[in-house]
A and B are shown apart, each in its own frame.
Chain A
Amino acid sequence: NAGVTQTPKFQVLKTGQSMTLQCAQDMNHEYMSWYRQDPGMGLRLIHYSVGAGITDQGEVPNGYNVSRSTTEDFPLRLLSAAPSQTSVYFCASSYGGTDFYEQYFGPGTRLTVT
Protein backbone atom coordinates (compact mmCIF):
# COMPACT_ATOMS: atom_id res chain seq x y z
CA ASN A 1 0.00 0.00 0.00
CA ALA A 2 1.18 3.51 -0.80
CA GLY A 3 -0.79 4.85 2.19
CA VAL A 4 -1.71 8.53 1.94
CA THR A 5 -0.14 10.41 -0.94
CA GLN A 6 -0.15 14.15 -1.54
CA THR A 7 0.83 16.19 -4.56
CA PRO A 8 2.56 18.47 -5.12
CA LYS A 9 5.23 18.48 -2.39
CA PHE A 10 5.98 22.17 -2.90
CA GLN A 11 4.05 24.97 -4.56
CA VAL A 12 4.48 28.71 -4.94
CA LEU A 13 1.44 30.78 -5.88
CA LYS A 14 0.83 34.45 -6.50
CA THR A 15 -1.94 36.20 -4.60
CA GLY A 16 -5.28 35.60 -6.30
CA GLN A 17 -4.29 32.41 -8.09
CA SER A 18 -6.22 29.21 -7.54
CA MET A 19 -5.00 25.67 -7.27
CA THR A 20 -5.92 22.19 -6.09
CA LEU A 21 -3.93 20.14 -3.61
CA GLN A 22 -4.35 16.45 -4.30
CA CYS A 23 -4.76 13.73 -1.68
CA ALA A 24 -5.30 10.03 -2.27
CA GLN A 25 -5.36 6.95 -0.06
CA ASP A 26 -5.43 3.28 -1.01
CA MET A 27 -6.55 1.83 2.33
CA ASN A 28 -10.31 2.08 1.70
CA HIS A 29 -10.63 4.51 4.59
CA GLU A 30 -14.00 6.17 5.14
CA TYR A 31 -12.69 9.26 6.88
CA MET A 32 -10.42 11.85 5.24
CA SER A 33 -9.39 15.29 6.38
CA TRP A 34 -7.23 18.29 5.60
CA TYR A 35 -5.12 20.19 8.11
CA ARG A 36 -2.85 23.18 7.88
CA GLN A 37 0.19 23.70 10.07
CA ASP A 38 1.77 27.11 10.49
CA PRO A 39 5.33 27.51 11.81
CA GLY A 40 5.67 26.52 15.46
CA MET A 41 2.02 25.64 15.76
CA GLY A 42 -0.14 22.59 15.89
CA LEU A 43 -2.38 21.36 13.12
CA ARG A 44 -5.74 23.00 12.46
CA LEU A 45 -8.57 21.14 10.78
CA ILE A 46 -9.80 22.71 7.53
CA HIS A 47 -12.38 20.28 6.14
CA TYR A 48 -13.20 16.63 6.59
CA SER A 49 -15.27 13.89 5.00
CA VAL A 50 -16.86 10.80 6.53
CA GLY A 51 -17.48 9.15 3.17
CA ALA A 52 -17.91 9.72 -0.55
CA GLY A 53 -20.31 12.59 -1.18
CA ILE A 54 -20.18 13.86 2.42
CA THR A 55 -18.00 16.77 3.54
CA ASP A 56 -18.06 19.19 6.45
CA GLN A 57 -16.18 22.18 7.76
CA GLY A 58 -13.52 22.07 10.40
CA GLU A 59 -11.94 24.81 12.46
CA VAL A 60 -10.55 27.02 9.64
CA PRO A 61 -12.57 26.41 6.42
CA ASN A 62 -12.64 29.91 4.94
CA GLY A 63 -10.92 30.19 1.55
CA TYR A 64 -10.95 26.45 0.91
CA ASN A 65 -13.32 24.07 -0.85
CA VAL A 66 -13.40 20.28 -0.86
CA SER A 67 -15.30 17.50 -2.55
CA ARG A 68 -15.30 13.72 -2.15
CA SER A 69 -16.51 11.99 -5.29
CA THR A 70 -14.67 8.73 -4.58
CA THR A 71 -13.51 6.94 -1.44
CA GLU A 72 -9.88 7.29 -2.50
CA ASP A 73 -9.57 10.99 -3.33
CA PHE A 74 -10.11 14.17 -1.32
CA PRO A 75 -8.79 17.27 -3.14
CA LEU A 76 -8.49 20.66 -1.44
CA ARG A 77 -9.11 23.74 -3.57
CA LEU A 78 -7.78 27.19 -2.84
CA LEU A 79 -10.17 29.55 -4.56
CA SER A 80 -8.12 32.76 -4.50
CA ALA A 81 -4.80 32.34 -2.74
CA ALA A 82 -3.79 34.82 -0.06
CA PRO A 83 -0.46 35.22 1.80
CA SER A 84 -2.26 34.08 4.98
CA GLN A 85 -2.64 30.66 3.36
CA THR A 86 1.11 30.13 3.31
CA SER A 87 1.43 26.95 5.33
CA VAL A 88 2.13 23.23 5.25
CA TYR A 89 -0.96 21.21 4.36
CA PHE A 90 -1.48 17.66 5.57
CA CYS A 91 -4.08 15.18 4.43
CA ALA A 92 -5.11 12.31 6.72
CA SER A 93 -7.36 9.27 6.55
CA SER A 94 -8.71 6.58 8.85
CA TYR A 95 -11.37 3.93 9.23
CA GLY A 96 -14.52 4.76 11.14
CA GLY A 97 -15.59 3.49 14.52
CA THR A 98 -12.91 3.29 17.21
CA ASP A 99 -10.26 3.03 14.46
CA PHE A 100 -11.10 6.67 13.64
CA TYR A 101 -8.52 7.74 16.19
CA GLU A 102 -5.64 6.06 14.34
CA GLN A 103 -5.24 8.52 11.50
CA TYR A 104 -2.66 8.13 8.74
CA PHE A 105 -1.07 11.34 7.53
CA GLY A 106 0.44 12.14 4.18
CA PRO A 107 3.89 13.74 3.76
CA GLY A 108 2.48 17.24 3.37
CA THR A 109 2.41 20.01 0.77
CA ARG A 110 4.42 23.13 1.51
CA LEU A 111 2.59 26.12 0.00
CA THR A 112 3.95 29.65 -0.29
CA VAL A 113 1.72 32.50 -1.46
CA THR A 114 3.53 35.67 -2.49
Chain B
Amino acid sequence: LAKTTQPISMDSYEGQEVNITCSHNNIATNDYITWYQQFPSQGPRFIIQGYKTKVTNEVASLFIPADRKSSTLSLPRVSLSDTAVYYCLVGDNTNTGNQFYFGTGTSLTVIP
Protein backbone atom coordinates (compact mmCIF):
# COMPACT_ATOMS: atom_id res chain seq x y z
CA LEU B 1 0.00 0.00 0.00
CA ALA B 2 1.31 3.40 -0.93
CA LYS B 3 2.55 5.59 1.90
CA THR B 4 2.09 9.32 1.81
CA THR B 5 4.21 12.32 2.79
CA GLN B 6 2.70 15.70 3.67
CA PRO B 7 4.02 18.86 5.34
CA ILE B 8 3.54 18.67 9.09
CA SER B 9 2.02 22.13 9.39
CA MET B 10 1.01 25.21 7.42
CA ASP B 11 -0.20 28.69 8.28
CA SER B 12 -2.40 30.87 6.12
CA TYR B 13 -4.23 34.15 6.42
CA GLU B 14 -7.97 34.32 6.14
CA GLY B 15 -9.22 34.77 2.60
CA GLN B 16 -6.17 33.21 0.95
CA GLU B 17 -6.11 30.08 -1.18
CA VAL B 18 -4.29 27.20 0.49
CA ASN B 19 -2.59 24.38 -1.39
CA ILE B 20 -1.50 21.26 0.49
CA THR B 21 0.65 18.83 -1.46
CA CYS B 22 0.95 15.13 -0.77
CA SER B 23 3.63 12.80 -2.17
CA HIS B 24 2.78 9.17 -2.92
CA ASN B 25 5.61 7.85 -5.08
CA ASN B 26 4.54 4.21 -4.81
CA ILE B 27 0.93 4.69 -5.82
CA ALA B 28 -0.53 1.62 -7.49
CA THR B 29 -2.68 1.50 -10.60
CA ASN B 30 -5.88 0.79 -8.69
CA ASP B 31 -5.29 3.35 -5.92
CA TYR B 32 -7.53 6.34 -5.43
CA ILE B 33 -6.44 9.51 -3.63
CA THR B 34 -8.68 10.75 -0.85
CA TRP B 35 -8.49 13.73 1.48
CA TYR B 36 -10.06 14.05 4.91
CA GLN B 37 -10.41 16.92 7.37
CA GLN B 38 -10.33 16.46 11.14
CA PHE B 39 -11.26 18.99 13.80
CA PRO B 40 -10.10 18.46 17.41
CA SER B 41 -12.10 15.83 19.31
CA GLN B 42 -14.03 14.82 16.20
CA GLY B 43 -13.80 12.00 13.69
CA PRO B 44 -12.35 12.74 10.25
CA ARG B 45 -14.67 14.04 7.55
CA PHE B 46 -14.40 13.18 3.86
CA ILE B 47 -13.50 16.16 1.67
CA ILE B 48 -12.73 14.90 -1.83
CA GLN B 49 -11.38 11.97 -3.80
CA GLY B 50 -9.94 11.49 -7.24
CA TYR B 51 -8.04 9.19 -9.54
CA LYS B 52 -6.45 11.52 -12.09
CA THR B 53 -6.49 15.10 -13.44
CA LYS B 54 -8.73 17.49 -11.53
CA VAL B 55 -11.75 17.04 -9.30
CA THR B 56 -13.76 19.90 -7.83
CA ASN B 57 -16.63 20.01 -5.38
CA GLU B 58 -18.25 22.73 -3.30
CA VAL B 59 -15.50 22.55 -0.68
CA ALA B 60 -12.20 21.98 -2.46
CA SER B 61 -10.32 21.04 -5.60
CA LEU B 62 -7.95 18.14 -6.05
CA PHE B 63 -5.18 18.30 -8.64
CA ILE B 64 -3.45 15.08 -9.71
CA PRO B 65 -0.64 15.16 -12.31
CA ALA B 66 -0.36 12.55 -15.02
CA ASP B 67 2.21 10.42 -13.15
CA ARG B 68 -0.05 10.41 -10.03
CA LYS B 69 2.97 10.46 -7.72
CA SER B 70 1.63 13.51 -5.92
CA SER B 71 -1.61 15.38 -5.42
CA THR B 72 -2.57 18.86 -4.25
CA LEU B 73 -5.60 19.78 -2.21
CA SER B 74 -6.67 23.34 -2.88
CA LEU B 75 -8.92 25.21 -0.42
CA PRO B 76 -10.22 28.50 -1.85
CA ARG B 77 -10.44 31.56 0.39
CA VAL B 78 -9.95 29.85 3.75
CA SER B 79 -11.68 31.04 6.89
CA LEU B 80 -10.86 30.50 10.57
CA SER B 81 -13.19 27.50 10.59
CA ASP B 82 -10.88 25.71 8.13
CA THR B 83 -8.27 25.36 10.88
CA ALA B 84 -7.93 21.58 11.12
CA VAL B 85 -5.71 18.62 10.28
CA TYR B 86 -5.87 17.46 6.66
CA TYR B 87 -5.03 13.88 5.74
CA CYS B 88 -4.07 12.53 2.35
CA LEU B 89 -4.80 8.83 1.90
CA VAL B 90 -3.98 6.50 -0.95
CA GLY B 91 -5.58 3.09 -1.24
CA ASP B 92 -7.70 0.67 -3.15
CA ASN B 93 -10.77 -1.36 -2.38
CA THR B 94 -9.90 -4.62 -4.05
CA ASN B 95 -10.98 -7.75 -2.26
CA THR B 96 -7.57 -8.19 -0.69
CA GLY B 97 -6.92 -4.63 0.29
CA ASN B 98 -9.87 -2.74 1.73
CA GLN B 99 -7.61 -0.64 3.85
CA PHE B 100 -6.79 2.98 4.40
CA TYR B 101 -3.62 4.28 5.92
CA PHE B 102 -3.67 7.68 7.57
CA GLY B 103 -0.37 9.48 7.95
CA THR B 104 0.22 12.24 10.47
CA GLY B 105 -1.56 14.78 8.28
CA THR B 106 -1.01 18.50 7.78
CA SER B 107 -2.09 20.82 10.57
CA LEU B 108 -3.47 23.96 8.92
CA THR B 109 -3.81 27.10 11.03
CA VAL B 110 -5.77 29.99 9.56
CA ILE B 111 -4.73 33.34 10.95
CA PRO B 112 -7.12 36.32 11.16
Are A42 and B93 within 8 A (Cβ)? no
- Docked complex: A23-74 residues within 8 A CB-CB of B: 31, 33, 35, 40-45, 48, 50, 56, 58-59
Q: How far is the CA of A45 from the CA of B99 in the complex (A)?
A: 8
Which residues in A have their C-beta under 8 angstroms from that of B42?
107-108
CB proximity of B50 to chain A, nearest CB, Å? 9
Take A42-B103, A97-B93 as given contacts and tell me if A105 and B98 are in contact as well, using a CB distance cutoff of 8 Å. no
When A102-B46, A108-B42 are in contact, do A48 and B34 touch as well, CB less than 8 Å?
A: no
Query: Given A96-B93, A101-B49, A102-B49, is A42 in contact with B102 using a C-beta cutoff of 8 Å?
Result: yes
Would you list which residues of chain B between 51 and 89 have a CB under 8 Å from chain A? 87
Kindly provide the distance from the CB of A79 to the nearest chain B CB, expressed in whole angstroms.
Answer: 22
Alpha-carbon distance between A61 and B54 when the two chains are bound, in angstroms = 36
| A92, CB-defined interface residue at 8 Å | yes
B46 touches A103 (CB 8 A): yes
Q: State A50–B96 Cα separation when bound (angstroms).
A: 10
* Chain A residue with Cβ nearest B89: A101
Checking B34, B101, B102 against A101 with a beta-carbon cut-off of 8 angstroms, the contacting residue is: B34
Q: Report whether A98 and B46 are in contact in the complex, using a CB–CB cutoff of 8 Å.
A: no
The answer to whether A105 and B93 have CB atoms under 8 Å apart is no
A31 touches B41 (CB 8 A): no
Partner of B44, one of A43, A59, A100, A101: A43
